[in-house]
Amino acid sequence: MMMKRIGELEHIMENLIQENKRLKQWLDSHGARLYTLEQLDIPHQVSKAVDEVVTDAVDWAMQAPLRN
């Protein structure tokens, strides 16, 4: 019984090692793209754009009564 369980665990470990190798290869091939996406700083750019739009909308709304 113990030998069977050890065999199962060895098989699981071999599968994990193979999956780890596959993931490392994938990361090596896609790493440059991931780095580029990180450098784009998309959340900051979105936040900045939203701030500008909201600021413009508030300015326009505050000036609307003065136009009438």
Q: Where are the domains of the chain?
A: 2-67
Averaged confidence pLDDT in the chain: 86
11-27 per-position pLDDT tens digit: 999 999 999 999 989 88
The answer on pLDDT for 4 being more than 80 is yes
35-62 per-position pLDDT tens digit: 776 777 888 888 999 999 999 999 998 8
Residue 33, pLDDT score = 74
Residue 1, pLDDT score = 77
Whole-number Å distance between alpha carbons of 35 and 46:
19
Can you give the pTM of this predicted structure? 0.45
Separation in Å, CA 4 to CA 1, 7, 8: 5, 5, 6
